[in-house]
Structure 1
């Protein structure tokens, strides 16, 4: 789940546009891609050759703990697991925390049991609670969670290790996003500008499946995901990291793929618990009475920068 697609009302029928950003709609080439879940017809997922051959630049690699929360995820969880364990990363600590699924999820997890640090299937209080249960079983030098329908792209863990070791003052990193459908075909890409603390106060564009952070900043920020939240826990966590002074960097690389499908939790809950939790975060971190015009004003420059980078990427000037 990812709050970058939630801050505005989602078109449930088309799964296409997140309304709310209206000032650039008049020309399609001036329409922001951020927030759109289907940007072009399905086509084979393109992975650059150098992703598969990402070198590990450090002999003593950092341990990286990834938690996958799951519940009745039999349709997609095997692809998720394979995207993690086939990284071949020697410092991987992979934990799967299942919520007591009664479908094929458990049998799929068992197939990969030897590659896991731990796994458990038991009732939980929701996604955030499951993530916390998973992190109670393992905490590496670097941490992340990956939902049971999303993917890591090849070479991501070596790249993350290399970057953190070369940049010891960086606490949190994230990358560009690939959108995929139920058949692992790509249907869009989000090119994000460099990190902007001001923008995340107003709107969360950070792709959750690409987010990695150091254990040290995790502890400083409270050492937990807010399990009282069922929807916007990623945005709440990002804001909490910012409040304790975390140094964020947007990486020049696609690191994860976000799966778009009709049963995704983000679509089902956005207009109920999602609205409630986002309003709660607005009251905590900014003016709770902001209207769409004010919100648009605060994120306008970020979206313009995004459009500029998106054009350069599509023209081949930028290569990720």
Structure 2
């Protein structure tokens, strides 16, 4: 069912691009063939040397704004697009991905901008072309609390559309080369919680997998960026040094500069995330024999709801009772020897 063309929200699509001219035609076609009157397509190219500029010029009359110049990477390109976007609803669509038919009409129909900040729809994956479609129906995953959502780490950026005022205020953090979407999502959730998110069952986008895509070619480097996001979350929640040091050890970037996120949700909403990472830190400190940091991790886990079960009891005995008895025993032995 198409939406009446009166008072349609304006939808802005930002396409960061670099040397993927062989896919760009399909991406542009998927946007301009939506049959939707009120949209804009913004292409931010990083100075491609392949056929990208030929494709852009071919479709120039359908492109609201474009530029081709060196930039500092994908995150910088998306941020440049945000600065010129004028829509009510905004998302970025990579130059090798596609909008599903009817996506814009579905957004106009389902995204109540008075009630919601974010609409999360479905996304299917495909290998190289749509003849090799993988019907995954991926969508942003929401848990019972923000902390549960963080733990699940189920993210799907292509089909997640933001209210313009919200995403413009949040912006894109350039320090993230691979997980700028995860960072954006977590920052939003920490600030606003989950009450202004609508989940849609509509297929909105197709995500292309191919040998040169970052998801495929550089997947081992994603985890370092993920750990930066996790560190920033714990840092913003004022967690102790033991927990921060545990997370920092998995960040490969020596020049990483932590960012303090705005927190607008009650601690109960995020406690499960803190608790899970405190327990992981405890296991790590057990392995390396750092008793002081292990004790600090136990305290954090208990503070944020770790149940007092047999496993926790063993950890208390190991890190509190046994060390005292050992010290006492060593003192007696020393006195006897003297």
TM-score normalised by L of structure 1: 0.69
Q: Is 1:180 matched with 2:126?
A: yes
C-alpha distance in 2 between matches for 1:130 and 1:189: 28
Displacement of 1:244: 2.2
Q: Is 1:81 matched with 2:12?
A: no
Secondary structure of the corresponding residue to residue 89 of structure 1: coil
Match of 1:204 in 2: 153
- Return closer, same or farther for 1:193/1:276 CA change in 2, 3 Å cut-off: closer
C-alpha distance in 2 between matches for 1:193 and 1:92: 24
Secondary structure of the corresponding residue to residue 109 of structure 2: helix
Q: Is 1:170 matched with 2:116?
A: yes
Displacement of 1:62: 0.7
Out of 223, 229, 234, the position equivalent to 1:275 is 223
Match of 1:217 in 2: 166
Secondary structure of the corresponding residue to residue 90 of structure 1: coil
Match of 2:255 in 1: none
- Return closer, same or farther for 1:199/1:146 CA change in 2, 3 Å cut-off: farther
Instruction: Provide structure 2 residue ranges, at least 5 long, that are not aligned to the other structure.
Output: 235-242, 251-275, 281-338
Out of 95, 98, 110, the position equivalent to 2:45 is 98
Secondary structure of the corresponding residue to residue 77 of structure 1: helix
Write out aligned runs for 1:72-151 (5 A). Answer: 72-151=19-98
Out of 264, 269, 277, the position equivalent to 2:213 is 264
Q: Is 1:60 matched with 2:21?
A: no
C-alpha distance in 2 between matches for 1:82 and 1:184: 14
C-alpha distance in 1 between matches for 2:182 and 2:141: 17
Displacement of 1:220: 4.0
C-alpha distance in 2 between matches for 1:140 and 1:193: 22
Secondary structure of the corresponding residue to residue 59 of structure 1: coil
Secondary structure of the corresponding residue to residue 240 of structure 1: helix
Instruction: Provide structure 1 residue ranges, at least 5 long, that are not aligned to the other structure.
Output: 1-53, 299-320
Q: Which has the larger helix fraction?
A: 2
Secondary structure of the corresponding residue to residue 209 of structure 1: coil
**1:72 and 1:104 in contact (8 A); partners too:** yes
Of structures 1 and 2, the one with the larger relative CO (CA 8 A, separation 6+) is 1
Is the deviation greater in 170-179 or in 187-196?
187-196
Displacement of 1:57: 4.1
TM-score normalised by L of structure 2: 0.65
Larger radius of gyration: 2
- Return closer, same or farther for 1:146/1:199 CA change in 2, 3 Å cut-off: farther
C-alpha distance in 1 between matches for 2:13 and 2:28: 11
C-alpha distance in 1 between matches for 2:148 and 2:212: 29
Displacement of 1:190: 2.9
- Return closer, same or farther for 1:227/1:194 CA change in 2, 3 Å cut-off: closer
> Deviations 1:70-104 (Å, cap 9, x if unpaired)?
10011211111111111122110110001100000
C-alpha distance in 2 between matches for 1:60 and 1:193: 28
Displacement of 1:58: 5.8
